Amino acid sequence: MPTVPATEELTVTLPKEVADLVRAQVATRNFADPVEYLTSTIHNDIVEFIAPPIDAEVYKDWLRTEIPRRCAEADAHPEELLTVEEMRQAIKDEIESIRKEEAIHNGR
């Protein structure tokens, strides 16, 4: 059974303009509620702080070499490709593995 991350209730007062922005984002139906939107936004800010975006030219060079190489690999070995469901399961498994490692590291 997956572990649920620890949570803490926190009340935040936002300026009206920011609260309106949050409501507008939830209204797009991309987010279930304000908590999901704010959590996602904060998470993205943390990720960008920890791992800043790479240089655009470096990224373009990587794309120019990696995309053709990986397409050629896929063409040569189609039996090794994953279905969408297999990929989803692989991602879930990886997330669970990371959570377990974090729990061990944090002594839980």
- Mean pLDDT (the chain, rounded): 83
Higher pLDDT: 26 or 62? It is 26
Residue 75, Cα to own-chain centre: how many angstroms?
A: 28
Contact 26, 37 (CB under 8 A): yes
- pTM, two decimals, is 0.41
Among the listed ranges 8-12, 13-17, 28-32, 92-96, which one has the minimum average pLDDT value?
A: 8-12
pLDDT tens digits, 26-47: 999 888 999 898 888 888 777 6
Task: Determine whether 2 is exposed, middle or buried from the number of CB atoms within 10 Å of its CB (0-12, 13-18, 19+).
Answer: exposed
pLDDT tens digits, 66-86: 888 888 998 999 888 888 888
